[in-house]
């Protein structure tokens, strides 16, 4: 079933839409949540929460890209759960925290609700940047900072060294920062 049909079912308040979403995107959303939380049970719960929030948001929302909408919800719910569970634990830095920290150098940190328009414009700018990058470098950046895969996982997936992944990420962050400075985001 394609996304338009699923959105139509959601707008009709047909619960079959949730079954279709889970079968089509459940594994990807679970991967995002697991990479953030490191716990299968928590990841499954986050996916269920994302489905519930999707049910409550559509309608009135009508996302252009259903997977991007679900992935964004999943990531936000996972980050909130991670922060909640680790609020009292100030120990070591997880791989997820390290990834988000690395990216913080080149992404503005203003995420207030009233700035959704700015956030959308920033997203469009980042998409323009990514469209101009070599496919492998673009994919490595997306795997690290959107899917939150570890450097080791990316290296294994592309059958390259971890050093090459780290160098590529470093160069891409520098390019992204320069691009965002030129676009007057930084």
DSSP string, 17-29: HHHHHHHHHHHHH
Where does the pLDDT of residue 106 fall: very low under 50, low under 70, confident under 90, or very high at 90 and above? low
Where does the pLDDT of residue 166 fall: very low under 50, low under 70, confident under 90, or very high at 90 and above? very high
The per-residue pLDDT for range 46-89, each reduced to its tens digit, is 999 998 988 888 888 888 888 888 888 898 888 888 877 766 45
> Are the CB atoms for 21 and 54 separated by under 8 Å?
yes
What is the C-alpha separation between 23 and 32, in angstroms, rounded? Answer: 16
Full set of structural domains in the chain with CATH: 3-85 (1.10.1740.10), 95-182 (1.10.10.10)
Provide CB contacts within 8 A for 1, sequence distance 6+. Answer: 20, 24
> Are the CB atoms for 47 and 18 separated by under 8 Å?
no
* Extended beta strands in 6-162, E state: none
User: What is the distance of C-alpha 99 from the center of its chain?
Assistant: 12
What is the C-alpha separation between 94 and 62, in angstroms, rounded? Answer: 35
Q: Taking all residues of the chain, what is their mean pLDDT, rounded to a whole number?
A: 81
């Amino acid at each position: 079933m394609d996304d338009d049909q699923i959105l139509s079912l959601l707008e009709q308040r047909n619960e079959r839409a949730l079954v279709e979403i889970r079968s089509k995107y459940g594994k990807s959303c679970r991967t995002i949540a697991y990479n953030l939380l490191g716990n299968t049970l928590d990841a499954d719960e986050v996916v269920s929460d994302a489905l519930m929030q999707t049910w409550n948001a559509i309608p009135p929302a009508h996302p252009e890209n259903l997977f991007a909408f679900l992935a964004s919800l999943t990531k936000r719910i996972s980050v909130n759960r991670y922060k909640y569970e680790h609020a009292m634990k100030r120990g070591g830095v997880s791989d997820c925290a390290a990834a988000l920290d690395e990216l913080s150098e080149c992404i503005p940190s203003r995420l207030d609700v009233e700035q959704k328009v700015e956030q959308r414009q920033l997203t469009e700018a980042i998409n323009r940047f990514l469209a101009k990058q070599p496919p492998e470098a673009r994919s490595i950046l997306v795997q690290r900072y959107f899917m939150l895969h570890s450097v080791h996982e990316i290296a294994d997936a592309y059958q390259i060294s971890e050093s090459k992944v780290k160098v590529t990420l470093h160069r891409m962050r520098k390019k992204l920062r320069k691009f965002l400075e030129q676009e007057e985001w930084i």
